[in-house]
Amino acid sequence: MKVIDEQFTEHSAMGVRQMVDFLRGEGYKAGKKLVRRLMNLMDLRAIYPMKSLSKGGWVKYRMPYLLRNLLIERPNQVWCTDITYVAMEHGFMYLYAIIDVYSRYIVGWGLYNSLDASNAIEVLDAAVRRHGAPEIINSDQGCQYTSKEWHETCDGYGIKISMDGKARCLDNIWIERFWRTIKREYIYLNPEDNAIDLRKGVAHYIDYYNTRRYHQGIDHQIPAARYAAAIAA
């Protein structure tokens, strides 16, 4: 699973067939059924979305993509959220995160051992309590975000919901780039043995990312400084 995660992080357009070819080329015995099951377990649904994952809410709660040609010029205008698989020495966890697009500031995150909608809502609730509600929140079409509970929570905060086009991971490019960054700079270099150490390590890295790491995508500014300056203006 670690090999799949690393390859998908570097080449996020890979589907099941391409992943099978890659793994076989690397000497692994891999069939389509196994790779499909592992990719679903790892929540790599931006490239290989499975309708059954949304438990019937897929069509009813699927929303249009609102960010195309949108000028993002202030904090809390647009947040993006997603979930990624994180390997440990023994087992794995799911990392949920929300990024403010204007500043690239991580406004909320959480580590969980399941893909429940309640986890996504808990992370959103904490972010809103700390920073206020955004105007728009963008996600993929995963079952957490096509759930009735997610939509009711966002409606309660007055947040407009935007969703990526099916199999269009570039629609949520800001959070995808954060996944690549945290995996390259921390997760792959420091495989933790347990969830407690992983949570401490992720917290330390996100604090560094937010408050001390200069970000090329925002003119080499620090996310927290850019966010705070715009809020205070």
CATH code: domain of residue 106: 3.30.420.10
The predicted structure's pLDDT at residue 1:
63
- If asked whether residues 36 and 107 sit together in one domain, one would say no
Distance CA 155, CA 46 (A): 24
Q: What pLDDT sits at residue 54? A: 34
- Residue 68 maps to a domain: no
* 144 lies in the same domain as 194: yes
Q: 179, 195, 186, 187: which is closest to 140 by C-alpha? A: 179
Please give the residue range of the domain that contains residue 18.
2-42
> Tokens at residue 27, please?
């000497």
Phi and psi torsions of 206, nearest 5°: -65, -35
Mean pLDDT (whole number) for 57-61: 65
173 part of a folded domain: yes
Is 67 a member of any domain? no
Cβ-contact 109, 98 below 8 angstroms: yes
| Residue range 126-181, pLDDT digits in tens | 999 999 999 999 999 999 999 999 999 999 999 999 998 765 556 789 999 999 99
| Confidence band for 8, pLDDT divided at 50, 70 and 90 | low
Model confidence pLDDT, tens digit, residues 91-136: 889 999 999 999 999 999 999 999 999 999 999 999 999 999 999 9
Same domain, 13 and 102: no
Planar angle of CA 43, 48, 54, nearest 5 degrees: 65
The pLDDT of residue 28 is above 90: no
pLDDT at residue 33, as a whole number:
76
Taking a C-beta distance cutoff of 8 angstroms, is the pair 86, 109 a contact? no
Nearest-10 Cα torsion for 51, 52, 54, 58: 40
DSSP H helices, 107-218, are 117-131, 148-157, 173-182, 195-211
Going 187 to 190 to 185 to 97, the CA torsion angle's sign is positive
Task: Give the global pTM.
Answer: 0.79
Query: Hey, how many other C-beta atoms are within 10 angstroms of the C-beta on 209?
Result: 21
CA atoms within 13 A on the CB side of 185: 13
